[in-house]
Chains A and B, each alone.
Chain A
Amino acid sequence: MIEKIARLQAFLDARPYAQFLGARADARDGNLVLVLPFSPHLIGNTALPALHGGVIGAIMELSALSQLSLDHPRHSPHQTIDVTIEYLRPGRAQTTYVSAHLKKVGRRIANIQVEAWQDSPAQPIAAMRGHFLLGAEG
């Protein structure tokens, strides 16, 4: 698991936008997770306050791409084709955890499902499913 965390962290370190968000790698309950510590610049609704919906969508897409890259390293990067994001609860001003599950990886297309939570994985704040184009082998 320590090696997996290091590989996810290296994936994030190579991405300026992931650094802008403040995303980092960790493990929870034996699973690799992407962690987004709260930071004031992530707020989208100052009244609640709540994380911006775009930020939640972005870290779920990052989680999917990183999991795919870790499990299926390729010569060229994988690309996002489409994502559907369901917002289930407001993302509050606290740390968010994200975990991706590869539902099917074919020759060219991967189907990935992602969940984001704060207090407990049993109470997700958002869910995402998406299609991803696998990078060329080489």
Chain B
Amino acid sequence: MSEVPTDRVIVDRMANSTPQAIALGFEAISMAEGRAMMRAPWREDLVEVVGSRALASGVITTLMDHCSGMAVAAVEEDRFPTATLDLRIDFLRPAAPGAGVMVEAHCYKSTDTLAFVRATAWDASPDDPIATVQAAFVLNGPQSPRPTL
């Protein structure tokens, strides 16, 4: 997997100009050939329950949705997702206390109108995942203007 972003404009747009991504402190790690990696740092105000110190599952849901959209955009420039059709998340275990969360998403199939993505979230190692995602997105057509995400 390449760690070199191929489209810094899209990376910046997805990580740095989406208000919810900024509010959660998302960091774009890499983006290339249908794959994207993003990280959500641990923050005390984003834990599930007072005293638990584990990042809330909602933060992980949002990171996985966001990173999956970025993986679709990493296939090619005019394949930009307009909407998430559905998102299936399996929560395998809670995030470790005090740990940030990393997500890698892979857009393994896209057509003119649809894109299909799998994603995995982990804290310490991708071999010990926190959650997995299967998602489908609707794409804007090649002729339509690219939306600002």
- Chain A positions within 8 Å of B, measured between CB atoms, are 14-17, 19-21, 40-48, 52-55, 57-59, 61-62, 77, 79-87, 90
Which residue of A has the minimal Cβ distance to B23? A41
In contact, B91 and A80 (Cβ under 8 angstroms): yes
Interface centre among B20, B45, B63, B64 (most CB of A within 10 A): B20
Among the 9-residue stretches B2-10, B47-55, B107-115, the one with 4 or more Cβ atoms under 8 Å from chain A is: B47-55
Number of residues of chain B lying within 8 A (CB) of chain A: 37
B124 proximal to A (CB < 8 A): no
Ranked nearest first, the 6 interchain pairs of A and B with the lowest CB-CB distance are A54-B62, A58-B58, A17-B56, A52-B20, A41-B23, A54-B65
In contact, A53 and B45 (Cβ under 8 angstroms): no
In contact, B62 and A14 (Cβ under 8 angstroms): no
The smallest C-beta distance from A125 to any residue of chain B, in angstroms, reads 11
What does DSSP make chain B's interface, helix, strand, loop or mixed?
mixed
In contact, B148 and A84 (Cβ under 8 angstroms): no
Among the 9-residue stretches B28-36, B70-78, B80-88, the one with 4 or more Cβ atoms under 8 Å from chain A is: B80-88
Interface 1/0s, chain B 123-143, versus A by CB < 8 A? 000000000000000000000
Q: Which of A16, A41, A43, A62 interacts with B50 by CB under 8 Å?
A: A16
27 A–B pairs (Cβ distance < 8 Å), ordered by A: A14-B50, A15-B49, A16-B47, A16-B50, A17-B46, A17-B58, A42-B20, A42-B23, A43-B20, A45-B147, A45-B148, A46-B149, A47-B149, A48-B147, A52-B21, A54-B65, A55-B62, A58-B57, A80-B57, A82-B88, A82-B89, A83-B61, A83-B89, A85-B86, A85-B88, A86-B85, A86-B86
In contact, B18 and A44 (Cβ under 8 angstroms): yes
B44 proximal to A (CB < 8 A): yes
